Amino acid sequence: MHRELEIARKTIFEGAIITVRIDRVRLPNGKEATREVVSHPGAVAVLAVTSGKKVLLVEQFRKPIEKNLLEAPAGKLEPTESIESCVKRELAEETGYHSDMWIPIGSIFTTAGFSDEKIWLFLALNAQKGKAQPDEDEFLSLHTVDWDWLWAQAETGVIEDAKTLALLIRAKSKVEAYFDDIPTDRRESF
């Protein structure tokens, strides 16, 4: 295994969400290099599925790419918040829905080439409607989409959000097994 030994670290920006730093490292071949690193406190993302096999997605404008994305509800961890309370809070805030069936499905590093951001992934089954309470700087549109439609959009490249794609891959067998166990006449239509 090849590792880079940190020689020096300099913080160049500290914001409300991220910190940017320059690391000087010694490479495995003995030479030195510079690494630009974005530090992030971590986040959660949830694939919430209703009893009618509908998936809750939010659409929001993303300034870095200057376009709207259709994506799974997600949000940043607060300093003393547990991962579990964060994911429940984010689902409620962004969609108004809640669930009593939470399944952790691992984590991902979003852009390990320059950031340490880690997102913990969850599946929420039998999501039930409540009232959304988005943050004052969030402008979201809730979309309730069919499971099969979402997969088709993911396969054709319409869904571009990495965390949403990771959630779909990790949750697929669990969602399908869950619905295989529920008789069609007992499923709620949305």
**Residues involved in catalysis:** 136
CATH 3.90.79.10 in the chain, residue ranges: 43-107+119-183
Q: Distance between CA 16 and CA 78 in Å, rounded?
A: 11
H/E segment holding residue 94: helix 83-95
pTM equals 0.89
The β-bridge partners of 75 are 44
pLDDT number for residue 187? 45
Yes or no: say if 55 and 48 are a contact pair by the CB < 8 Å rule.
yes
**The pLDDT value given to residue 186:** 47
* Assigned architecture for domain 43-107+119-183: Alpha-Beta Complex (3.90)
Cβ-based burial of 177 (10 A; exposed 0-12, middle 13-18, buried ≥19):
exposed
Find, among 58, 120, 108, the residue nearest to 84 by Cα: 120
Task: Going residue by residue through the chain, which has 190 residues, state the pLDDT in tens, using 9 for 90 and above.
Answer: 899 999 999 999 999 999 999 999 999 999 999 999 999 999 999 999 999 999 999 999 999 999 999 999 999 999 899 999 999 999 999 999 999 999 999 999 999 999 999 999 999 999 999 876 766 777 889 999 999 999 999 999 999 999 999 999 999 999 999 998 765 544 444 3
- pLDDT value of residue 33: 97
pLDDT digit string, tens, across residues 156-174: 999 999 999 999 999 999 9
